[in-house]
Amino acid sequence: MPVKLLMTWDISPDHEQDYFEFVIGEFVPGVQRLGLQPVEAWATIYGSHPQILVAMLSESLSGARQAMQSDGWNQIADKLFALVRNFDYKIVPARGGFQF
């Protein structure tokens, strides 16, 4: 059964440019190599919710877990964590439309 890896975070102050360069140049290609398919990216403009929500699609729960336990994920995550704060994630059954 397909699942979505839902990740939220806030971009660290003073790291916006580095963050956007990393996401486009390394994060998206890196997670794709791990078998995760980026399907959604949302930004909160107003309110007290996380600034960024990203959804990645995996063909299965085991595939998502395997990707997140890999050395490739650890390398990508370490770089991401240097640029963001308040990172959180959950894996949910995939369904159409927005999921939070």
Provide the whole-model pTM: 0.90
The closest alpha carbon to 56, from 83, 85, 33, belongs to 33
3-state secondary structure of 61: helix
| Complete domains list, the chain, with CATH | 3-93 (3.30.70.100)
> In tens digits, what is the pLDDT along the chain, a chain of 100 residues?
999 999 999 999 999 999 999 999 999 999 999 999 999 999 998 888 999 999 999 999 999 999 999 999 999 999 999 999 999 999 999 987 766 6
